């Protein structure tokens, strides 16, 4: 989809669909909506008068224009109460526009900067959210649809979207926001592709290749193979990888802009398939386990966007890609493995493999001496039980850092909720024969004990952990900007966080 700003009068741009808006409680439309109303002989005002349209959020009127204006059709989108309007609402409006345009097979769509007028939003933020909403909603994963589907049922695509804004300053700021939104949405969609690709085609090698593909200005990559991992004593991660035919790889991305004053490490869980290992998962729990590298996918997505965003922070992206499989060579329950820093880990369940690989990834990240580490991991089913499918669990050792993450997540519409890193639960992961064990107490605070397991590996470094087991993937499609499959959760939030740090 091509997206651009135009300073032309909205009534004079030819298009298949023109989308204007109305806040609830407005009975005399003004601005662009007012102009359209006038050109259509008061049709919108009339419907408002007849109580057929209240401007409720997501409510929509659509009519043909019979040549009265250059657009073939007009849609009026309800924006709801203007006091509740925010960028996340604009993102949803973007999604509704895509749905609407797809419904009437519109190829060229014209709209306005929703919320930048009486909605009171900053035009840059409004435009960015609109672009994100459009591009995130238009995403579909088609790589595996056969020839039949491709030919006969090729899904409709909006080819071009023009945002009309007559005010010069708003148009200039809007253009900036639009570009930023597209960059971030495309990075998110890239992460989605990685998550959606079946594990047979997205093993450690392919995941590392995917990271190589996105290298932009100022970004470098270092890939370490099994031999190198042995040299570095990453024995915990190596143990997890041992059951698979596909050897592990460490991927270290670095973005070093000139004059950066802060250094941040982002670590992602990268289990390319989680069968559970010898503690094999029951069938139903295994079906979606290609998504167990969603943390790493978010890291790669972030790095795709970084050079284009002009972020002035040194950023390191780290993941250890492994496949967790059962075999005659697999690590076993009862084994004791040693992480890079010498910590011994008693393995009591091979399906709690994420924390075992992250132990080494965090040690490696810490060795870079960053100002802070943030990790993202599809770590525990317990987090889905606690917070549901839409919210990530957040824990960390620094109030300042978790607060910044919460702020960023609010702005990007990627919900997180903080859980306590309750120290007494360290009892849950005490081992009788090693420094720590990889499972907590049965049926109790599994997300917290997993985070407590990770905590010592960050040491004194400021650290935050996001358990993204729920929101990394969706089958429900509850919001238009989050279609079926991998969500790319975290990409936009991390970019926002780096802006704040």
The yes-or-no answer on residue 355 being catalytic is yes
424: helix, strand or coil: helix
**Of the residues 69, 171, 382, 495, which one makes contact with ligand BES according to CB under 6 A:** 382
337: helix, strand or coil: strand
- Cβ atoms of 448 and 425 closer than 8 Å: yes
Q: Quote the least distance from Cβ 479 to Mg ion, whole Å.
A: 12
**C-alpha gyration radius of the chain:** 25
Q: Which stretch binds Mg ion (CB under 5 A): 10-18, 276-284, 371-379, 467-475?
A: 467-475
Stretch 76-115 residues interacting with ligand BES (CB under 6 A): none
- Cβ atoms of 329 and 242 closer than 8 Å: yes
Q: Write the DSSP assignment of 126-160 as a string of letters.
A: HHHHHHHHHHHHS----TT--HHHHHHSPPP---E
Q: Which stretch binds Mg ion (CB under 5 A): 121-129, 233-241, 388-396, 431-439?
A: 388-396
Q: Which stretch binds ligand BES (CB under 6 A): 223-231, 241-249, 251-259, 345-353?
A: 345-353
**Of the residues 209, 225, 308, 389, which one makes contact with Mg ion according to CB under 5 A:** 389
**Of the residues 349, 398, 431, 499, which one makes contact with ligand BES according to CB under 6 A:** 349
- Cβ atoms of 325 and 239 closer than 8 Å: no
275 near ligand BES (CB under 6 A)? no
**Of the residues 115, 177, 204, 354, which one makes contact with ligand BES according to CB under 6 A:** 354
- Cβ atoms of 237 and 356 closer than 8 Å: yes
**Of the residues 16, 88, 274, 414, which one makes contact with Zn ion according to CB under 5 A:** 274
411 near ligand BES (CB under 6 A)? no
Q: Which is nearer to Zn ion, 60 or 379 (CB)?
A: 379
For residues 351 and 333, give the distance between their C-alpha atoms in angstroms, rounded to a whole number: 10
Q: Quote the least distance from Cβ 482 to Zn ion, whole Å.
A: 24
Q: Quote the least distance from Cβ 469 to ligand BES, whole Å.
A: 4
Q: Given the residues 124, 269, 355, 437, select the one marked as catalytic.
A: 355
Q: How far is CA 463 from CA 212, 335, 352, 372, 375, in A?
A: 26, 28, 21, 6, 8
Q: Quote the least distance from Cβ 350 to ligand BES, whole Å.
A: 8
Q: Quote the least distance from Cβ 471 to Mg ion, whole Å.
A: 6
Stretch 341-380 residues interacting with Zn ion (CB under 5 A): 351, 353
Find the helix packing angle between 123-137 and 168-196, rounded to 10°: 30
Number of residues that bind ligand BES (CB under 6 A): 16
Q: Quote the least distance from Cβ 414 to Mg ion, whole Å.
A: 13
Q: Which is nearer to Zn ion, 351 or 360 (CB)?
A: 351
- Cβ atoms of 338 and 427 closer than 8 Å: no
The yes-or-no answer on residue 281 being catalytic is yes
179 near Zn ion (CB under 5 A)? no
CB atoms within 10 A of CB 146: 7
For residues 438 and 446, give the distance between their C-alpha atoms in angstroms, rounded to a whole number: 11
323 near ligand BES (CB under 6 A)? no
From the list Zn ion, Mg ion, ligand BES, none, pick the one residue 389 interacts with, judged by a Cβ distance below 5 to 8 Å according to partner type: Mg ion
For residues 273 and 472, give the distance between their C-alpha atoms in angstroms, rounded to a whole number: 15
- Cβ atoms of 311 and 498 closer than 8 Å: yes
391 near ligand BES (CB under 6 A)? no
For residues 14 and 106, give the distance between their C-alpha atoms in angstroms, rounded to a whole number: 12
Q: Given the residues 140, 281, 332, 410, select the one marked as catalytic.
A: 281
For residues 380 and 466, give the distance between their C-alpha atoms in angstroms, rounded to a whole number: 11
Strand order, beta sheet including 263-274 = 219-224, 249-255, 314-324, 263-274, 372-377, 462-467, 392-396, 416-418
**Of the residues 132, 179, 274, 414, which one makes contact with ligand BES according to CB under 6 A:** 274
Number of residues that bind Mg ion (CB under 5 A): 3
From the list ligand BES, Mg ion, Zn ion, none, pick the one residue 486 interacts with, judged by a Cβ distance below 5 to 8 Å according to partner type: none
As annotated, the active-site residues are: 281, 355
Task: Point out which residues bind ligand BES (CB under 6 A).
Answer: 274, 292, 349, 351-354, 378-382, 384, 439, 446, 469
Q: Which residues bind Zn ion (CB under 5 A)?
A: 274, 351, 353
């Amino acid at each position: 989809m091509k997206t651009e700003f135009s300073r032309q009068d909205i009534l004079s741009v030819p298009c298949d669909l023109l989308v204007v808006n109305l806040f609830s409680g407005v009975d005399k439309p003004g601005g662009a909506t007012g102009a359209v109303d006038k050109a259509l002989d008061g049709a919108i005002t009339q419907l408002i008068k007849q109580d057929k349209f209240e401007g409720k959020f997501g409510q929509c009127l659509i009519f043909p224009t019979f040549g009265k204006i250059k657009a073939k059709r007009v849609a009026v989108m309800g924006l709801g109460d203007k006091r509740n309007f925010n960028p996340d609402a604009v993102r949803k409006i973007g999604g509704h526009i895509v749905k609407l345009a797809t419904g009437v097979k519109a190829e060229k769509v014209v709209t306005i900067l929703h919320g930048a007028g009486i909605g009171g939003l900053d035009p840059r933020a409004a435009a960015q959210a609109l672009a994100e909403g459009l591009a995130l909603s238009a995403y579909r994963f088609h790589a595996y649809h056969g020839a039949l589907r491709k030919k006969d049922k090729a899904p409709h695509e909006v080819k071009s979207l023009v945002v009309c804004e007559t005010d010069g300053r708003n148009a200039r700021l809007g253009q900036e926001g639009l570009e930023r939104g597209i960059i971030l949405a495309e990075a998110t969609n890239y992460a989605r592709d990685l998550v959606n690709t079946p594990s047979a085609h997205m093993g450690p090698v392919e995941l590392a290749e995917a990271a190589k593909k996105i290298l932009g200005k100022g970004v470098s990559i270092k890939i370490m193979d099994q031999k190198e991992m042995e040299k570095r004593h990453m024995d915990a991660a190596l143990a997890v990888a041992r059951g698979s035919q596909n050897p592990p790889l460490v991927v270290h991305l670095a973005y070093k802009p000139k004059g950066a004053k802060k250094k941040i490490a982002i670590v992602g869980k990268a289990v390319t398939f989680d069968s559970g290992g010898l503690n094999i998962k029951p069938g139903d729990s295994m079906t979606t386990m290609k998504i167990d590298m969603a943390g790493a996918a978010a890291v790669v997505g972030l790095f795709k966007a970084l050079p284009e965003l002009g972020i002035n922070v040194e950023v390191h992206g780290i993941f250890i890609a492994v496949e967790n499989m059962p075999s005659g060579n697999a690590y076993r329950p009862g084994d004791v493995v040693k992480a890079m820093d010498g910590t011994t880990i008693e393995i009591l369940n091979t399906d709690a493999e994420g924390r075992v690989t992250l132990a080494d990834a965090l040690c490696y990240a810490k060795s870079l001496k960053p100002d802070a580490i943030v990790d993202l991991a599809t770590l525990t089913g317990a987090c889905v039980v606690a917070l549901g499918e839409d919210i990530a669990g957040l824990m960390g050792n620094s109030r300042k850092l978790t607060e910044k993450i919460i702020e960023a997540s609010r702005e990007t519409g990627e919900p997180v909720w903080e859980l306590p890193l309750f120290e007494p639960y360290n009892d849950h992961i005490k081992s009788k024969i090693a420094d720590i064990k990889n499972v907590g107490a049965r049926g109790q605070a599994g997300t917290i004990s997993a985070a407590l397991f990770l905590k010592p590996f960050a040491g004194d470094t400021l650290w935050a952990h996001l358990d993204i087991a729920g929101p990394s993937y969706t089958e429900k499609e509850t919001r238009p900007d989050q279609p079926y499959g991998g969500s790319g959760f975290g990409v936009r939030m991390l970019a926002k966080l780096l802006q704040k740090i």
